[in-house]
Structure 1
Amino acid sequence: MSGIGESRSELLGWLNELLRLNYAKIEQCGTGAAYCQIVDSVYRDVPMHRVKFNATAEYEFLTNFKILQSAFTKHRLEKTILVERLVKCRFQDNLEFLQWLKKFWVQNKDESVYDAESRRKYRAPVHPGGYGNGSQSGPSSDNTGVTHGGSASAPTSVVKKRVNGTLRSSLSTSNTRSVAGLASRKSSSEQQVLSLQAKLSQAQGSLETTQKEVEQYREAIAIMERERDFYFGKLRDIEILSQSTKDLCKEGVYSSDPNELVRFLDKIQQILYATEEGFEVAADVINTNTKGSGSPSLNANNVAPSAMTDSWSQPAHNLITDEETF
C-alpha cells in the first residue's frame, strides 16, 4: 500500500517536493498547514489564504485543523482526525496521519501540475526592514491581519488576549451547558428511582397480602382434611358394626328380640355422636332429633349435628369391643 511503511525521510522528501517547503521534521506537520495543502492539491478548493503556515500557537494550529476538517466533511472523507494528538506535534501521531494522507493522495490525485506557491498566495513584505522566513519566498498575510513573516499590523499580545478571551467565554458557556445537562439528567434519574421505589413498595404490599391469603387457604384445607378423616372414621365404624351384626344374625347368634335392635341402633348413635376432647354435643340437639322409638334422626343435610374444634382426627375410642358386637 502506497505511503504505509515509508520512512520519515521519504515522506519529508515527497512533502517538500509537492508543496515547495523545507520541513526538516515530521513534527512540523502538527501545525495542520501542510495537511490542508495536501488536500488542496487533490481538490483545489481549500481556502489556502486562511491557512497559517507560520503558526506558532496552539490556537492557530486549531484554526488550520478546522479548515482541514471542513474539507473532509465537504468531500465526505470518513477518516477521523485526532486533532488533540496532532496539535501536540508528536512524531508518531503525525507520522501515521501523514502516511494516510500520502496513500489518499496517490489514490485520488490526477496528473495535472499543482503550483503550491501560487495557491498559498504569497504577498510582498509590508515593512521597510523586510521580515521573512527562510522556508518561504516572502511573508503572506491572512484575514486576521497578522503577517506570516513574523511582523503584525496589530500587537501580538492584543491578538492573543482577544483569542484567549474568546476561548474562555466559549469554555464558560460549554461548562454552563454541561452543568445544566448534568443537573437535568440527575433530576430525571432521581424521578425514575422514586418511581421504581413506589412500584416496589406496592409490589411488596401486594405480595404480603397474597401470602396471608395463601396461609388462610392452607389452614382451611388442613381443617377440611381433618374433618374428612373424622367423618370417614365414623362411617368406617358403622360399616364394621353393620357387617359384624349381619354375620352374627346369619349364624343365629341373635334372636329377633326388639331390644337387640334397639341396642344396635344405640351403638350407631354412639358412633355418630362420638367426640374428641373438647368436642361437645348440646343435649337439646340430641333430644330434638330423637323420636319416641329412641333412635336418632338426621338433620336436613343428613349429617349428625356436631360442633367442630380446631383439630380433627378419628374418634378416640372405637365403640366396637372384643366382648360384644354392640
Structure 2
Amino acid sequence: MSGVGESRSELLGWLNELLRLNYGKIEQCGTGAAYCQIVDSIYGDVPMHRVKFNATAEYEFLTNFKILQSSFTKHRLEKTILVEKLVKCRFQDNLEFLQWLKKFWFQNKDESLYDAESRRKYRAPALPAGHGDGVPASRSISSSTGGYHQGGGSSSSAPTSMVKKRVNGPLRNTASMGSARLSTTGLMSRKSSAEQQAHVVGLQTKLSQAQSNLESTEKEVGQYREAIAIMERERDFYFGKLRDIEILSQSTKDLCKEGVYSSDPQELVRFLSKIQQILYATEEGFEVAIDESSNNHNGSPNPSANSNNIAASTVQEAVNQPAHNLIIDEETF
C-alpha cells in the first residue's frame, strides 16, 4: 500500500513494525519522534540522540519537529510541515501527515534493513496485558484476580476502577510535570534575558568610559607634541649661537696666527662685541619686555651703562692677561 487512504489500524501496524514501537493511537505521533525516525530509516542521518521519545510537554514536541524540519531542509523536501497543528496531537492532522510520510517512505526507501532500537537507543515499554491478543485489559485483570473476588457480583467492577485509577494517575502526573517544566523554562528565560540586558548596560558604560579616556589621552598627546616642537626649536636656536661663536673664534685665532690682529685692546673689544651680538641675538618676532622708563624714574641704574662698565672691565682684564689667553681655545668647542 502507498499510504494514502489507509486506515488507522494499518498505519499503526506499519509504524510499530518499522520502528519497534507500541503506539496505540495516531495522536501519539504528535510528539514528532516517530516522524523523525521514519525519515532516519530512509536517509540514516537524523541525529536520533537528540530526539525525545518520552516527551510530554509541547516545547519538547517542538524540539523534535525542529529536527524533522532540519532533515527536510537538508534533503530539499518541499513538503510543508504544519507544526502548530501536529503538536496539538489531533487525529486528523497526524493521520494525513502519516499517510503522506508512508507514501514517501515506499517511494524512497532502499532494500537495506533498519535497526530502529539501536538507532534511537530507546526501548519502548511493554504493552499492557491484553493488547495484541484481542483480550481486554479489564477481563485479564479480573481473571487474574478472580480467586480473590469469588462469590460477589462486584468482582468485575472493582478491577475496572483500579485500572482507571492507574491509568489516570500517571497522566495527571505527566501533565503537572509538563506545566512545571514550562514554568521553570519561562523563569530561566526571563533570568537569562535580564542578565543579558545587565551585561549590555555594563558594556555600554565601559565603552563610554573608554571613549572619554581616549579623548583626554589624545588631548595630552597634542600638548606633548606642541611642547616637543617648542623644545626642538629652542635647541636648534641655541645650537646655532654656539656654532656661530665657534666659527668666529676659530677665524679670529687664524687671523692672529697670521699677524693680522695686533695686541691692540680695541681689536679685543670688537671681538667681544661680536660675541655679544651673537649671544643676545633673537629670532624674528621675539621681543624682550623691559620697562626702561620705570627704571630710570625710580633712580635705578641704566642697564646699558652697566653693560658698558662690564665690557670695559672685561677689556681691561683682557689687556692685563697674557696674549695666549685672549682667544678661546679651539678644544672648548
Task: Give the TM-score normalised by the residue count of structure 2.
Answer: 0.47
More helix by share: 2
Task: Give the TM-score normalised by the residue count of structure 1.
Answer: 0.48
